[in-house]
Structure 1
Amino acid sequence: EGAVFIPASLAYLIGTNIFGPLAYKMGRSFSSGVVNAWNELSIPLAKKFEHLLAPNAGWGFAIGMVDSAMMPIMGHLVDLRHVSVYGSVYAIADVAFCLGFAIGSPAISGSIIQAIGFKWLMWVTAIVNMLYSPLMILLRNPSKKEEKEVSFNINIKILLTQSKIKE
């Protein structure tokens, strides 16, 4: 039974190593959400062990795409909008990722599967992935912190100090 995850593990290994350099050109996590959704739709339809190999490999690859793109995106957003202190941002992203696996997978998914079934859980997850994936396009060119305010404040300070020097 555990052998079904071998393609996912191998694809994850390949995805994290290949997608890192390609993440900036391909649109980062947008494509991984679409790949995830497609595989989540395919898994409940599998009738045999062999039918799970391709969707699990695609799933592993998509998760590898997210892992390799998530931290550089977070660092880029910090560079654009805040002081370049990466430790806290990486810690927050890592904690959120780990909480998703620790709480979401074993605790919440079991209750949801009992309530609506495995097939519907996978389909709802696929729909959610398809709905948020287009939002990743917003991460292609995130807005920068307004530099006009900063330069305006600096100019006022310079003018004030120059007027004090002249007096």
Structure 2
Amino acid sequence: MNIYDYSVQTIRGEQKPLADYRGQVMLIVNTASKCGFAPQFTELQGLYEKYKDQGFVVLGFPSNQFREQEPGKDSEVEQVCQINFGVTFPLFAKIDVNGDAADPLFKYLKKESPGLLGSSIKWNFTKFLVDSEGKVVKRYSPTTKPMKFEKRIVELLGRADRS
């Protein structure tokens, strides 16, 4: 299997095949709007706005697995992300990222790019960078701010950094 074989549920309940993102650089993130790392939504949105027309997309997957920092319903999560952080990048239905009920996409991501201390996700805002051919190229920790790897995104987009 590869990443394009997976289908996920949008935050509004529709099925979305990841094959729809074929040819794009993806940043897949497990999110939580009540987490101390939630200000990263602003950087994620900034990267999305800056590079979306060049083939970059951020995919946000809310999860309530870490100290229940995403307790609301999907509709509430979407509203909080839009109002508090200006999020316009695609958001998906709340999922589990660890354990027996972990979403198959996140099982795949963890297998393709295990963390330093094993494959489990340690906290909200773990980020997986996927190249335009669907290969998971890097896993970033929750503490790594998205702007820290902007240069890598630019490289994957195949263009010179003009910022």
Structure richer in strand, relative to its length: 2
Give the structure-2-normalised TM-score: 0.25
Structure richer in helix, relative to its length: 1
The structure having more radius of gyration, on CA atoms, is 1
